[in-house]
Amino acid sequence: MKTARLLLIGFGNVGQAVVELLLSKEAEIRSLYGLGLQVVGIGTASHGLALDPQGLSLPRALELIRSGGDLGQLARPSVPSTIQELIQQSRAEALLESIPVNYESGQPAIGYLSSALERGMHAITANKGPVIHAFAPLAALAASHARQFRFEASVMDGAPVFSLWRECLPAARLDSFRGILNSTTNLILSLMEQGKSFEAAVAEAQRLGIVERDPSGDTEGWDAAIKVAILVTVLMGVPMGLGQVQRRGIDGLTDLEVRQASQAGRRWKLVCSAKRIGERVEARVGPEQLDPGDPLFDLMGTSSAVTFVSDVLGELTVSERAPGPRTTAYGMLADLLNCVGLK
């Protein structure tokens, strides 16, 4: 039986969900694919680094992180001093990276993924930053080392968006797409429709752990815009920077506007769209007032969806209901299995 050695960089909600999924799916993966998955290293910014060539105890790692302990307690024979040193020493077959996104530069995640590829690892990320800032160089670096750079979980958690186009739609041309790609703002607007103020809705989303302490990345449309730019760059083949997406968030919507729309049988949604016009693509993110006939009208809470329009299939919609860290973790696991297990 083949065993793939794994390195995890980032051990927050998503990283922990990856470990829980590995534990729950271990027997199934062994049975279906004849594959063992062994985590030999975990790197974090605030809870230490651990490397054990014989494999780390994953239940113990979860116990330590949740009690505020230092993962260095698991390291044998010694604790690496930096994440780059951890990558260099791990001899892993695949790196799974899930650190917080850096909208401005994509670092340090780009550096971690690059180092992994240079050392012959597959590079898998749930992080939007590396895809928007370094998709082309990372893909080229992966190809030059006969490895894969995968990022299924970066836009719609575990929903198969990139793999759908890569594996199932050969020779199809994506002409446009439209959808709701930021589940946080969808939840905030749903709560406002129920009578909460914008501030109270944001606070509730924070209490649920869905939005960061600084919610501006979601409420000002940055997260949605970066996802649009990624889809345009990867699926439409037109490189697009974040600044090329027309962007307006929901922070300008008033409680009164949301209530008035609801009373009139309509709903505000943060809608993402892109359309091919000749050789270029126009892309935008902004709040729109939708009527009940719109396919996005009934998408409530943290759900999201995108409708693709191609030259061969017309409209094709991918949707997900109430995603969370486990669905994002599954996106990473699916990428991993496609890299090392499904051959």
In angstroms, the CA 54 to CA 56 distance is: 7
How crowded is residue 199: how many other Cβ atoms within 10 Å of its Cβ? Answer: 9
Whether the CB-CB separation of 231 and 155 falls below 8 Å is answered with yes
Level-2 CATH architecture, domain 2-158+325-340: 3-Layer(aba) Sandwich (3.40)
Q: 331 and 157 in contact (C-beta within 8 Å)?
A: yes
Rounded distance between C-alpha atoms, residue 145 and residue 147, angstroms: 5
Output the CA angle 111-131-121, nearest 5 degrees.
Answer: 50
Residue closest to 274 by CA, chosen among 217, 230, 222: 230
In this prediction, residue 343 carries a pLDDT of 52
Residue 240 Cα to chain centre, angstroms: 18
Consecutive 10-residue runs of the chain (343 residues): their mean pLDDT? 94 96 96 94 95 96 95 90 95 96 93 98 97 97 98 93 94 97 94 93 88 87 96 97 95 93 96 96 97 93 94 93 89 96 63
Domain boundaries, the chain: 2-158+325-340, 168-320
Q: Residue 103: its pLDDT value, please?
A: 87
Give pLDDT, residue 342.
65
Task: Report pLDDT for 246.
Answer: 97
Task: Give domain 168-320's CATH number out of 3.30.1360.170, 1.10.3430.10, 3.30.360.10, 3.40.50.620.
Answer: 3.30.360.10
Q: What is the CA radius of gyration of the chain?
A: 21
> Kind and range of the H or E element at 114?
helix 109-118
**Pairing, β 174-180 against β 149-150:** unpaired
Helical H runs in 145-237?
Answer: 153-156, 162-163, 183-193, 198-207, 216-219, 222-235
Burial category of 235 from C-beta neighbours within 10 Å (exposed 0-12, middle 13-18, buried 19 and up): buried
The conformation of residue 324, written as its DSSP 8-state character, comes to -
Q: Which distant-in-sequence residues (6+ apart) come within 8 Å of 169 by Cβ?
A: 310, 312, 313
Token pair for 220? 């000002």
* pTM score, whole prediction: 0.93
